[in-house]
Structure 1
Amino acid sequence: MTTAAAPLEYKVTARAVHGDVAEVTAAQAVVPIDAGWATPSTGAPGPADLLGSAFAACMLKNLARSGALLGFEYDDAHLEVVLHRQDAPPKFTHIEYALRISTDEPERRVELVHTNLRKFGTVYNTLAAVCEVHGTVTAVRRTQKKT
């Protein structure tokens, strides 16, 4: 009989001083956040920005995982994520992404990586369970980058 591993836990703490600063501590990083209401923007990321950032971090971390597990070689990656929200009721309706990977891998391997990003991303799958998530992965050939 096998036993399942205990689920991982992630602890995030946050603090706000009324009318002043707000910050989140995650892992070893302190991130200033915009947690004000009806106040001028602080320029720091707000909740929607942080959700989009978590999605992007998930995709890039999973790309690194795919690189290691599949032997997928790439130089760098650029990801753009757009979250669409509605006001009533307040929720995100869909998420779009465009990932550009600098690689000379064949197109079928690029598609395999895209499949893995959709299949094994924790944040990706969590968000896909509550709203539509779709996007593209495009290979930018290394020879094209040099021109």
Structure 2
Amino acid sequence: MMEYHVSARRIDAHGSLARAKEAEVVLDTDLAGRRDAMNPVELLLSALAACMLKGVERVTPLLQFHIDGVEIALEGVRQDAPPRLVAIRYEIVVDSPESDQRLDLLHRNILKYGTISNTLSAALPLEGGLRRKA
């Protein structure tokens, strides 16, 4: 079993700070919002994006997969009462000369072995796909 540790503290009414290892992230905890920090939903979506990108890094050497770049776009769909996400939509865009079958294999592996993607998909629909960069 692996364990992860994060600590967070309120700076003031406009923001907070989270720490893990030697990294710090400013958190948007201001009720009015702030443009220079991510709010909790954006952080969750960023965690999913990081999970997917880490999956690419993990899988590509194993599959001897050639990529020149990867971009991920995510959208969280939130209901108001009670406040919660009801779906997450994603699009993974890969710049690669690999075949469509190998791109599909990459996509399946990204989802199958991701800690965050597996956790979130147990709680709500993850809808999306992987496509080749035009």
1:8 to 2, 11, 14: 2
TM-score norm. by structure 2 comes to 0.93
| 5+ residue gaps, structure 2 | none
Alignment map for 1:1-147 (pairs within 5 Å): 7-37=1-31, 39-41=32-34, 43-140=36-133
Deviation at 1:77, TM superposition (A): 0.5
Residue 82 of structure 2 aligns to which amino acid in structure 1?
Answer: P
TM-score norm. by structure 1 comes to 0.85
Count of residues in correspondence between the two structures: 134
| 5+ residue gaps, structure 1 | 1-6
In 2, Cα distance between equivalents of 1:74 and 1:40: 37
Deviation at 1:90, TM superposition (A): 1.4
2:14–2:29 CA contact under 8 A, matched in 1 = no
In 2, Cα distance between equivalents of 1:136 and 1:42: 29
The change in CA–CA distance for 1:67 and 1:40 in structure 2 (over 3 A counts) is closer
The change in CA–CA distance for 1:123 and 1:109 in structure 2 (over 3 A counts) is same
In 2, Cα distance between equivalents of 1:123 and 1:10: 13
1:56-82, CA deviations, whole angstroms, 9 ceiling, x for partnerless residues? 000000011110111111011011011
* Moved >2 Å (runs of 4+): 39-43
Query: What percent of counterpart residues are identical?
Result: 35
Deviation at 1:20, TM superposition (A): 4.2
Which one has a bigger Cα radius of gyration? 1
2:52–2:117 CA contact under 8 A, matched in 1 = yes
Deviation at 1:136, TM superposition (A): 1.2
In 2, Cα distance between equivalents of 1:21 and 1:93: 26
After superposition, the CA RMSD in angstroms is 1.4
